[in-house]
Amino acid sequence: MSRETYSRLEARGFWALAFLGAAVALAGFLAAHAMETSGHVITGMNNQVVWGVPHVFAIFMIVAASGVLNVASIGSVFGHAVYKARAPLSGLLCLALLSGGLFVLMLDLGRPERVVVAATHYNFRSVFAWNVFLYSGMFTIVAVYLWTLMERRMAPWSKPAGLAAFVWRIILTSGTGSIFAFLVARQAYGTALLIPMFLAMSFAWGLAAFLVVQSTMYAWNGLALPADIQRRMRNLLALFVVTVLFLVAALHLVNGYFAKNLAFERFILADGGVYPVLFWGAYVVAGSLVPLALIWRPGSTARDLVVAALLVIAGAFALLYVFIVGGQAWPLDIFPGYTTSSTFGDGAIASYAPSLPEVLLGVGGLAVAFLITVVGVRALRFLPQDDLPAAPAAAPAGR
Amino acid sequence: MSRVDQGRRQILAWGAAMAGVALAPGVTLFDLAHGRAPTEPASSKVRWGMLVDLNKCASDCDACVSACDKENGLPTEKTATSAQWIRKVELKDMRGQVRSLPMMCQHCAEPPCVDVCPTGASFKRADGIVLVDRHTCIGCRYCMMACPYKARSFVHEPTTGQRPEVPRGKGCVESCTLCVHRIDRGGIPACVEACAATGRQAILFGNLNDPESEIAKRVASYATTAVRADLRLDPGVRYVGL
């Protein structure tokens, strides 16, 4: 594919979108400022649910950032030309989502102005500290990878750079899963299964995010996604969605077998109010089964694929909400065998209702990712086009 | 004696007097400190711990909680967002028998909060006291996710009524310091003192590493329980009658 064949967004539309993104990002920033000034008391978080909606947004974006790079990996590492044409867009989306996720994660800190402390003081026993390195490393590697993809002279380096990005993002998502896997205290977490589960989630959510952006860009330019590419990406999304469902089912089945975890599983899956509704209704049915039906139904259209991808993303938020908030709402089993009560919520299910500032912060993070994507697509050539012959300079891609 | 020499003598005398004035408070403090000198680091020869006797702890008594709040300038109103360094937990067993115990940071030998802290703000002193460095805590709350005892609080609101010896700050995580400011002066934690003042003496404080200390003798001779012993965190707070 020739670089000259990429298209650009129209100027007026670009400015409108950029302004919208910047305005929402600014609203998120101001919400974070209010949280910093007044304290987290203005959020729904408390001493039992210490991570709330901002973490749901941040972790979604960080996990999806890694997965969205899958498209590039299949192109560069495994040499599929169709995916290689999409590698630059995949890299851009990775940087955009990672920036959005970190925007939320940093601004949700109790002391966001101390982010420099986090960058200069490291406790290497902490999974969180590893993640700081993994995030900054990801930015560097993906930036170099994008350079090799977009600068003709660097093209021979695109395969090694792609391989480095592939390995790094697997480690990065393992690190994100490990944040929860390494928690000994809470019944919802503390299992190595979370690492492959997070990897599968990243594949599904990243591809869904990619499909939404890709179809928007194609529609914007009045183009249609070639049927063959549609079919491949549709099947890939279905495979990832099924994998996540399988791992989520395995987690709950094994957990539910342990008598000590039975009450917790019943809470999450049956009688925990909003959590089972989100789990079954929003994640399993709307976020997994309906997308699979849309993908596999006879005569599935391009529009079906976009709706499926959007539903997968909505389901991701529901699953993360249940996993993060629901997992904390259930009280710690500090005294097994006893019924407990105290002024500090012992033995009681914690209530959590997200407040406007924290929702705005989360949405602000999405806006940051959106803004970076819009500006990136405008400034550089990211739109994939497959219906043209490969340019002679295009590196050793293709099967 | 020349006039210059006299002048020198006077300067020396004034200097000595001023040095005396400057040093006196330090010397007095040193004298007051029966524990260790301010310049002497905490030693791993000491492991501070507490032994709580549930048979002596009354359900309707919260003297330890009030004393902690007062000593550390904590809010007295107990809400889902207020800092609670120590709390009374009521336990009901399968027979319906009710008991009560104070729950606070267990000052683990293997503290998960220290392992997970990204900046190293959560740390364990050589003498076993687990603390938060308020200068490097970024307020990520990962330690609160990791603590199996729910011992930590996040400061959700602006702080008021702070005590000079116990700095606190909105946006940081905090927990029981074992009244480290008292221990370093040779004193005992406020909750232990308050419990003793009620006449119950349910909390015994001391050096677990000293075989001659009362706490070490009792831990050696009575059945004591570490909460969540299955996690093998080796807490410095033990319970009798649990």
Check whether residue B122 and residue B81 sit in a common domain. yes
Residue A280 scores a pLDDT above 70 = yes
**Which chain B residue lies closest to A183 (C-alpha atoms)?**
B146
- Residue B39 pLDDT: 77
- Give the count of alpha carbons within 13 A of A398, CB side only: 10
Give the count of domains, chain B: 2
**B228 found inside a domain:** yes
Which of chain A's residues have a Cβ under 8 Å away from the Cβ of B61? Answer: none
Check whether residue B95 and residue B178 sit in a common domain. yes
Which of A33, A48, A50 is the best residue to mutate to test the B interface, defined by the most B CB atoms within 10 Å of its own CB?
A: A50
Which of B60, B68, B117, B119 is the best residue to mutate to test the A interface, defined by the most A CB atoms within 10 Å of its own CB?
A: B119
A–B interface: beta-carbon pairs under 8 A: 175
**B37 found inside a domain:** no
Check whether residue B153 and residue B57 sit in a common domain. yes
Backbone angles phi and psi of A298, in degrees to 5:
-60, 135
Which of chain B's residues have a Cβ under 8 Å away from the Cβ of A133? Answer: none
What average pLDDT does the segment A338-348 reach?
96
**B225 found inside a domain:** yes
Q: Which of A39, A129, A339 sits opposite B157 (nearest CB)?
A: A39
Q: Which residue has the higher pLDDT, A286 or A78?
A: A286
Cβ contact (<8 Å) for B87 and A346?
A: yes
Which of A49, A121, A127, A352 is the best residue to mutate to test the B interface, defined by the most B CB atoms within 10 Å of its own CB?
A: A121
Q: Which of B89, B116, B154 sits opposite A346 (nearest CB)?
A: B89
**Which chain B residue lies closest to A48 (C-alpha atoms)?**
B80
Check whether residue B87 and residue B8 sit in a common domain. no
- Classified as helix, coil or strand, A125 is coil
Check whether residue B206 and residue B91 sit in a common domain. yes
Residue A399 scores a pLDDT above 60 = no
Check whether residue B52 and residue B170 sit in a common domain. yes
**Which chain A residue lies closest to B139 (C-alpha atoms)?**
A110
Token couple for B74: 């904590």
Q: Which of A51, A114, A186 sits opposite B138 (nearest CB)?
A: A114
Cβ contact (<8 Å) for B92 and A340?
A: yes
A44 touching B, CB under 8 A?
A: no
In this predicted model, what pLDDT tens digit does every residue of A138-174 receive, in sequence order?
Answer: 999 999 999 998 888 888 888 899 899 999 999 999 9
| Cβ atoms of B205 and B189 closer than 8 Å | yes
A184 touching B, CB under 8 A?
A: yes
Q: Which amino acid is at B132?
A: V
Check whether residue B78 and residue B189 sit in a common domain. yes
Query: For chain A, what percent of residues have pLDDT higher than 70?
Result: 94
The string of DSSP letters for A296-331 reads HSTT--HHHHHHHHHHHHHHHHHHHHIIIIIHHHSP
**B11 found inside a domain:** yes
In this predicted model, what pLDDT tens digit does every residue of A176-221 receive, in sequence order?
Answer: 999 999 998 899 999 999 999 999 999 999 999 999 999 998 888 7
Check whether residue B110 and residue B225 sit in a common domain. yes
Q: Which of A51, A42, A112, A103 is nearest to B138 (CA)?
A: A112
Check whether residue B52 and residue B16 sit in a common domain. no
| A 117-136 near B (Cβ less than 8 A) | 117-118, 121-123, 125-129, 131-132
Complex prediction ipTM: 0.89
In this predicted model, what pLDDT tens digit does every residue of A38-86 receive, in sequence order?
Answer: 999 999 999 999 999 999 999 999 999 999 998 888 887 777 777 888 8
Domain limits of chain A? Answer: 185-222+229-333
Q: Which residue has the higher pLDDT, A5 or B6?
A: B6
Check whether residue B125 and residue B200 sit in a common domain. yes
Check whether residue B19 and residue B55 sit in a common domain. no
Give the DSSP H/E element, type plus range, for residue B81: none
Which of chain B's residues have a Cβ under 8 Å away from the Cβ of A131? Answer: 118
State chain A's mean pLDDT as an integer. Answer: 90
Q: Which residues of A215-237 are buried (b: 16+ CB within 10 A; e: fewer)?
A: bebbebeebebeeebbeebbebb
Which of chain B's residues have a Cβ under 8 Å away from the Cβ of A48? Answer: 80, 150
Cβ contact (<8 Å) for B139 and A45?
A: no
**B79 found inside a domain:** yes
Q: Which amino acid is at B52?
A: V
Domain that holds residue B57: 48-240
Cβ contact (<8 Å) for B138 and A343?
A: no
| List of residues 6+ apart from A173 with CB closer than 8 A | A63, A66, A67, A198, A199, A202
Return per-residue pLDDT of chain B as tens, 242 residues: 566 566 666 666 776 666 655 555 444 444 444 466 777 888 888 999 999 999 999 999 999 999 999 999 999 999 999 999 999 999 999 999 999 999 999 999 999 999 999 999 999 999 999 999 999 999 999 999 999 999 999 999 999 989 999 999 999 999 999 999 999 999 999 999 999 999 999 999 999 999 999 999 999 999 999 999 999 999 999 999 98
The CATH number of residue B152's host domain is 3.30.70.20
- Spatial separation of the C-alpha atoms in residues B2 and B14, rounded to whole Å: 19
Which of chain B's residues have a Cβ under 8 Å away from the Cβ of A132? Answer: 118
**Which chain B residue lies closest to A107 (C-alpha atoms)?**
B140
